Chains A and B, each alone.
Chain A
Amino acid sequence: MTVKKLTEPDALAKYRDSLVASSDDGKPCVLICGGTGCRAGGGLAVGDAFREVLEQRGLTEKVEVRMTGCHGFCEQGALVVLKPAGLLYVRVTPEDVEEIVATSIEGDGVVERLTYREPATKKRITRESDVPFYANQQRVVLADNGRVDPTNIDDYIAAGGYGSLAKALTQMQPDEIIDAIERSGLRGRGGGGFATGRKWRSARNATGQPKYVLCNGDEGDPGAFMDRSIMEGNPHSVLEGMVIGAYAIGADRGYIYVRMEYPLAIENLRIAIDQATQRGVLGENILGSDFSFNVKISRGAGAFVCGESTALMASIEGLTGEPRAKHIHTSEKGLFGKPTNLNNVETWANVPVIIDKGVEWYTSIGTENSKGTKVFSLVGAINNTGLVEVPMGITLREIIYDIGGGIPKGRPFKAVQTGGPSGGCLPENMLDLPVDFDQLTEVGSMMGSGGMIVMNDHTCMVEIARYFTDFLRRESCGKCTPCREGVLRMYEILDSITAGRGKMEDIDLLEEICGYVRDNSICGLGKTAANPTLSTLRFFRDEYIAHVKDHKCPAGVCQALTTFIIDEKTCKACGACLKACPVEAISGGAKKKPAKIDQDKCTTCGACREACLFDAIMT
């Protein structure tokens, strides 16, 4: 298909008008979530089934089937939304499709059993906008994620896409754009929270050509998938932000660095770059102007440290991803020794919104020093696992209970972890903390890129500290001694405590090493590596002491310090634990005879406790 290149800003507006005019708002449309989570849950097969059934019924022309980006409600995948009614169907399988078409497309009924059922009230909710998970969010960056087909630039343009670029090119001088970004208060969404406008200005003022504009899509925090969903679901929003940024900074080339674990994000970005170039909103003489900007994709190769700016640049240069000390800023000497501006995926996706809706609108959202919204991936012990976008300043409680629907099986909340391996664990008495960059840092955690992991009473905080520290000692690049050796020693101490070999003086030593690693490491990985340990020591110190002094893991996680027993009175002899036990250590559990654990065989893995429906297995 030959695509008509848009050679002037007005042509974009005309083209959009023609797209809007030719589309029929009332035409039924099936929006199927094509994010990685729903694909893993069979989303693609559901899409195929819709196409097939509609064809059989001669409805292909009358109903549009659109594979969109991530809708965010991953827990309930595969997700299907029917427009214009706005019906939401959850956990849809290909076998359900015929009934959906017959009932809700040919007819105007609702397939009750596929609607969302709220866990607390058991009430069925039919419309997407009424589901509390969505109703309590404020979607700015993710607004189009569930609506546009990421592999079709026309969808994005019809929704107003690249309008901000046209506005920037025709109505704004580069300095005005930087000024707007500065006044918007936008801060880096990748973790650091550095003022984006200021960063742009120093890159603009730096001498040297060429200049580079980079996008950090190396989302390495375990438990975080916001950036993946944006790159997969709305890649043009990232590209548009980058082109505007490049114009403001005076850069003509750039890279998007994406971790290789995200194949769909890479594919969709590639398609988006091709389509944007063909349309004339990327590449040479953008929208007929003198401004040119070309962007390439660079794939990561599995190194967490490459999320750090200087390591990322080294990796693009084909070197080992080792950071360097930043005596000279990357805005002056970055990629290939040239002035470089690096922003995170979500930061870039905010840029078109700010240019489009204006600084005033943007600054009306958020807190004094953290403007706009933030996307979080809400995971762990939470009913509504998924992707949520909320205004800065919302409390943890609102996110976890109003949007997340609380903790499954009515278990008690224990902690919430933000900021990935660089962040910290916050206890229940901090649930009313407003979430913004500064508040989280103040209490020893951090915003990070937006992972939010909820933990219940079956989580051992010492083991979690061990887990993150284990991750970090593997991912430490080894260049500087404090991080390479210090994090390893921290891990060894934490490991010995969870294995029941800890001594009280180890805790003091651990704290001492934490301070040393924090103060002396070269890059952010080392500087923040102590956060998981320090925050758990601060808020859950009694758990450390229980491990060392009482030789007990209160959460029943650390295998060396746990014994599981089955309460005979509570056990209903259902046999669920027998099936779950990997070492056949459980007998009974049938014919009203309570189950019993053979302690000699038991490895205290805890599989039985998680499988038990009656809370009969105790430590």
Chain B
Amino acid sequence: MQFRDHRVVGDILELAQRYRDQDADELVFYDITASPQGRSVDRGWIARVAEVLDIPFCVAGGIRSVAEAEAVLNAGAEKVSVNSPALSDPALIDQLASRFGSQCVVVGIDSQTTPEGWSVHQFTGDPDRSRDTRRDTLQWVSEVQQRGAGEIVLNCMASDGVRRGYDLAQLAAVRDICRVPLVASGGAGTPEHFAALFEAGCADAALAASVFHSGAIAIPDLKQFLKSRHIEVRT
């Protein structure tokens, strides 16, 4: 999503409030073209979101330095999420955790299934620059925790956009070595997919975008469904 257009910012505020009113537990704002284009996220909209939003939100996209993260947090975001910049400069995670505390520092990982397991991809926001870093996903998950990540969002690329369910096998493998909150991303298509994720116990939270944006799943309906499956949700 492009954040530089003021009309779009208005749409972001409206969307953010709508999700808040539907009892979304947290919002994540991704500026997915920021890293491939070598720019950081614009800040103006962050303060405007913070003014109206009373649930936690995280900002991701091209945060490459402590100063950039500080500006985002000072504007009112709860957390910053780093992905491509952390792959280019892993020490960024240490610096952010040391300055702001681990609870502010989310590491996003785009992970692709390979014949041997899973590998980490970078710059996935731009099809022309997206590349396989050849880093093993499980090794990267361990490293980012040692460096001070306070939360990991694992985007399983093979499942992403396909709406056939979360990649439970990969998430379970990551959950086994993960001592910080793990957020599952990629693959949600039906309420059943969310229930399967939580019943398998392989993630602490579920992230989804397209099924909510398209209206395919309404958050209140999803929460009622999960409740009926005896999964604890905030309602």
Answer yes or no: do A and B interact. Answer: no
Chain A positions within 8 Å of B, measured between CB atoms, are none
Chain B positions within 8 Å of A, measured between CB atoms, are none
